């Protein structure tokens, strides 16, 4: 178990992120509760401070008690904009554990709409992969542990080396799968490059989050259970390092175990991040 310290949880205003922030705060961590806007981050902190440690979005009523043991600190950044990601990293002056949870999946209502970030990248790729890569590497030297929230969909995905933004042949499942494959491979490469920092890619399972509702409907599993899988590497409840699925070490996509492929992905990502929007 990692001793409670400070942890940044991205995408912490709803779903798994909100529940994970509550569970970490209950365990005594100081939680930097990330939201896309200051208002959303502050609202999430208020919700958690009101004893809603499981992140119960529908009622706002949590277990009885005296609130979280750890401090809740709102932070904000629009992770679809790389300048905002860099600003967030610059604002953190202490050693933190990092939970890269924020993610998007094109909702069913706009299922055929390919969206683009402020930097010109396909939005799913930008938020689910480029932002975690940029944030994590910008925090080099200030990280005690990293948990990247991935998906079982990464196993069936493929990297699109020549067109990672899927300008040609985009669909929402392909975009999401590729982003989570890249994040999982990044986790393994980061672990190899930073051996002193535990890096775990966690598949929390198919749970009832706003993302899942908007993209697939229901039913889905308990969000607090998914969040527990996410925070387990920090709380001593599951294996640390590698790819962990529902609390058990599992076999990832072959790219994740291919050191040459991971290095190729890292180099590609650095080129994408170095480019500036037109």
Q: Which residues are catalytic?
A: 176
Contacts (Cβ under 8 Å, ≥6 apart) of 168: none
Bridge partners (DSSP) of residue 207 are 221
SS3 category, 151: coil
By CB atoms closer than 10 A (0-12, 13-18, 19+), residue 264 is: middle
Residue 257 has phi, psi (to 5 degrees) of -105, 10
Sign of CA dihedral 29, 30, 36, 42: positive
SS3 category, 39: helix
Alpha helices in 27-169 (DSSP H): 38-49, 82-90, 123-125, 131-138
SS3 category, 113: coil
Contacts (Cβ under 8 Å, ≥6 apart) of 196: none
């Amino acid at each position: 178990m990692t001793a409670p310290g400070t942890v940044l949880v991205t995408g912490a205003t709803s779903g798994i992120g909100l529940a994970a922030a509550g569970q970490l705060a209950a365990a005594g961590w100081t939680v930097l509760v990330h939201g896309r806007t200051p208002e959303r981050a502050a609202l999430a902190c208020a919700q958690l401070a009101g004893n809603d440690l499981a992140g119960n979005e529908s009622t706002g009523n949590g277990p009885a008690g005296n609130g979280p043991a750890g401090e809740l600190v709102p932070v904000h950044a629009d992770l679809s904009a790389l300048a905002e990601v860099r600003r967030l990293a610059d604002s953190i002056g202490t050693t933190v554990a990092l939970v890269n949870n924020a993610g998007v999946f094109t909702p069913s209502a706009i299922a055929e709409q390919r969206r683009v970030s402020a930097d010109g990248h396909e939005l799913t790729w930008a938020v689910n992969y480029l932002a975690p890569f940029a944030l994590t590497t910008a925090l080099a030297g200030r990280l005690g542990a990293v948990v990247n929230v991935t998906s079982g969909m990464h196993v069936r995905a493929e990297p699109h080396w020549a067109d990672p933004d899927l300008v040609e042949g985009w669909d929402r499942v392909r975009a999401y799968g590729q982003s989570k494959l890249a994040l999982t491979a990044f986790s393994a490469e980061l672990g190899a490059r930073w051996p002193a920092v535990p890096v775990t890619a966690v598949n929390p399972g198919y749970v009832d989050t706003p993302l899942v509702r908007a993209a697939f409907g229901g039913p889905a599993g308990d969000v607090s259970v998914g969040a527990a899988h996410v925070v387990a590497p920090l709380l001593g409840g599951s294996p640390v390092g590698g790819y962990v699925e529902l609390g058990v070490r599992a076999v990832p996509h072959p790219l994740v175990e291919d050191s040459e492929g991971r290095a190729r992905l890292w180099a590609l990502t650095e080129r994408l991040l170095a480019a500036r929007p037109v």
